[in-house]
Every structure is written in C-alpha cells, then in structure tokens.
Amino acid sequence: MSGPARARVAAACETISAIAVAAWVGGHAALGAFGARILFRDLPRDVAAATMTTVFRSFDSLILVAAIAVAVATLARAWAVGVFSRGTRIERADAIATFAAVALVAVALVELGWAHPAIERLYRAGASASVEFASLHRASERLGHAEAALGAVLFGSFAWRRARA
C-alpha cells in the first residue's frame, strides 16, 4: 500500500478512536460528575443508587463497544504508520498514541471485568455504606480520571503527529 493510502488509513483510524473515546470518556465523566451528583442530591439515596446502578450497567455496553473500536483502530493505525514493520523508525508520537490507546483498553477491561461488577455486587448485597464499597468507588473514580488523562494523551499525540507531518 502506498504512503498516501497508509496516511488515509491512519487518519480514518484516528477519527474512529477519537469518536469512540469522546463518547466513552465524555459520557462517563458526564454521568459521574453530573448525573450521579444531581441524582444523589435530589432523590432519596436508595432511589438514586438503584437508578445510577441501572444507568452505569447500561453504559458499560458503550464502554465495551468503544474499547473494541479503539483496539481495532489502534491495530490498523499501528500497521498504517509502520509500528509493525521491521527496520522502520517509529515516530515518538506514534509510540505514545499506541501506548495511550492500549492503556485505555486496559482501563476498560479493569472497569468492566472488576470495578463495575464488584460495585454492583456490593450494592445488590446492601453493602453500599461499607468501607469496601467506598474503596471500590474511589478506585472507579480514579479509573475515570485515568481515562480522561489517557484520552488527552491520545488526542495530543495524534495532533503532534499531524503537526510534524
């Protein structure tokens, strides 16, 4: 495949990643920072908790789809920019973008495979006031902060690469 064709593939993959990360990370931030805060402020705790549990369980589907899109787009982009080519000098921006995308997918796996199910299990068991629940909730918030930071690094590395091209 020619250089311009590879550049078009890389650009398409960056667009797919950007849309997926914006929906995932932006949606997650909006739910946590605004939706949950307002529900817990305005509704009885048990109603707010039940509602947010349902909302977050549903949102996990978006996280899964977005993480798959990021993973596939990252592999295709890495191929397009020559990350897998032997003897090709890899641009620092491409290495950073690949690392950030892989880390984002890893965060999604931790959220979907451990943090979110554990929080929901404790909520269903009536242990939402427990120390373990509070600890898991803090861990989930930190994962959300990591998503935002990694998303910014990913977008920044895309822009850096384009500015240098």
Per-residue pLDDT of the chain (165 residues; tens, 9 = 90+): 788 899 999 999 999 999 999 999 999 999 988 998 999 899 998 888 889 889 999 999 999 999 999 999 999 999 998 887 777 778 899 999 999 999 999 999 999 999 999 999 998 998 888 999 899 999 999 999 999 999 999 999 999 988 877
Number of domains in the chain: 1
Domain span holding position 155: 3-164
pTM (two decimals): 0.91
User: What sign has the CA pseudo-torsion 66, 68, 71, 72?
Assistant: negative
Structure tokens at 116: 């979110």
The one-letter amino acid at 4: P
Tell me phi and psi for residue 87, to 5 degrees.
Answer: 85, 0
Residues in the chain: 165
